[in-house]
Structure 1
Amino acid sequence: MINKKILILFLFSSTLFSCSSIELFKEKVEQKPYKENKTYVIVNKEVAIHGFEDVLVNEKIINQIEKNMNGLGLTYDKDKPDVVIRFSSNEDPRQKDVYQNQFPMWGMRVWDPWMYDPRFMNRGNMMSTKDYELIQLIIDFIDPAQDKMLMTITAVSEASSQKTKEKKLIKSVDKIMGAYDIHMRTY
């Protein structure tokens, strides 16, 4: 009985957490890591390059990158860094069609023999459009000693509001830094 409960809990949690709406793409690796990095610098912070139009979002990304890099044991050094980090973004406003179910609950509304519901009278396909934004966060990791790209990782997600956008970008930074850590440890 306990094994059955654990299995159900595992399936529910894996379904819940596997539906991540952030996809990562490792695009470019020009060289394998050849040393352990101890310092880093964020170009966007030093040169005041904005990866996002919104200054507040830009600062949140910088702070999250610093938090993750410090968590990996690296220190910020703008004079002689082992890794140079640069980020940019693509923000693309889009629309998608949303179809309303004319027969909610169980299929053809078995529980209502006359199929009467004033909300759905004289309506065929009920469709509306929803505005959202496709967000790409692109982070480059550069080796300044060899002037080559360690790697480029892109996180792609969708957001329907400013609050969701900020949350997804923070999660994207966390995922990218996790992928960077795995890359540096496995090669």
Structure 2
Amino acid sequence: MKKLIIYMLPLVMVALSCSSYRYHTTKMTGRDFSQFHTYGWLPPVDSLSKSYFDNDIAQNNIMETANRELEARGLTYTKDNPDLLFRYIAIVNNKSKPLYAPAYGFYPWGMWGYNPWMWGGWHMGWNQPAGKTLYRAGHIIIEARERKTDAVIWQARGTGEVRTPEDAINKLPEVVAQVMAQYPVPPQTASGR
């Protein structure tokens, strides 16, 4: 039983590390984002990739969460000449990642040859490339375009593994909230309004 746990623990850790989203952002330097007070929405970008997010439920989850996050940052929605125009891009595509096999055995001179600080003995690890495995990656990208200049001045992205369409859609509010957390203006507190 102990051996089974020792062999399964790395698999569980790899599976858990793959299920989380990673967030990245970029912005145009020299911009004072606190000067923007109103916002509107551009239509979402059509993607050529297979998308799980091409339905009313997913679009509602994205828009509702993004609107709530923008309003928490002091921005007001308007259709008439907003300061910023936001757009989202939702993509699901195929990716591959390396698949590793266990490496174990008796190494009398250390794991990779003679090493005076690593004595011989049985060693176990996950360092032998065994191939690649395919998975679906979901990307939620939100960008802000300054209406006056028509330039994208901020963009943030959340990327993670998508296991099922239902889980991906249900997780959208959490992912969009984390993407919007990258916006250069922090949420206002109740006393700050």
**Matched letter for residue 79 of structure 2:** K
8 Å CA contact retained: 1:22, 1:168: no
| Equivalent position of 1:72 in the other structure | 73
C-alpha distance after superposition, 1:124-158 (max 9, x if no partner):
xxxxx987420111111111122222211111111
Query: Runs of 4 or more off by more than 6 Å in structure 1?
Result: 95-99
Query: Matched residue of 2:169: which SS?
Result: helix
With normalisation by structure 1, the TM-score equals 0.59
Q: 2:86 and 2:41 mapped to 1: Cα distance?
A: 5
Equivalent position to 2:170, from 167, 171, 175: 167
Query: Is the 2:45–2:87 Cα contact (8 Å) retained in structure 1?
Result: no
Task: Select between 136-145 and 160-169 the one with higher mean Cα deviation.
Answer: 160-169
Cα offset, 1:59, TM superposition: 2.1
TM-score, with structure 2 as normaliser: 0.57
State the partner residue of 1:124. Answer: none
Let me know the Cα RMSD of the aligned residues. 3.1
Q: Percent identity?
A: 21
Q: Report the alpha carbon displacement of residue 22 of structure 1 after superposing the two structures with TM.
A: 1.5
Closer, same or farther: CA 31–168 of 1 in aligned 2, 3 Å: farther
Gaps of 5+ in 2: 1-16, 48-52, 103-131, 187-193
Aligned to 1:105: none
Taking the aligned partners of 1:60 and 1:34, their CA distance within structure 2 comes to 25
The CA deviation string for residues 47-79 of structure 1, in whole angstroms up to 9 with x for no partner, is x76674233212221111111112222211011
Say how many residue pairs are matched: 136
Q: Point out the structure with the larger strand share.
A: 2
For structure 1, the 5+ residue unaligned runs are 1-18, 102-128
Letter in 2 for 1:37: F
Q: Which stretch of the first structure deviates more once superposed, 35-44 or 24-33? A: 24-33
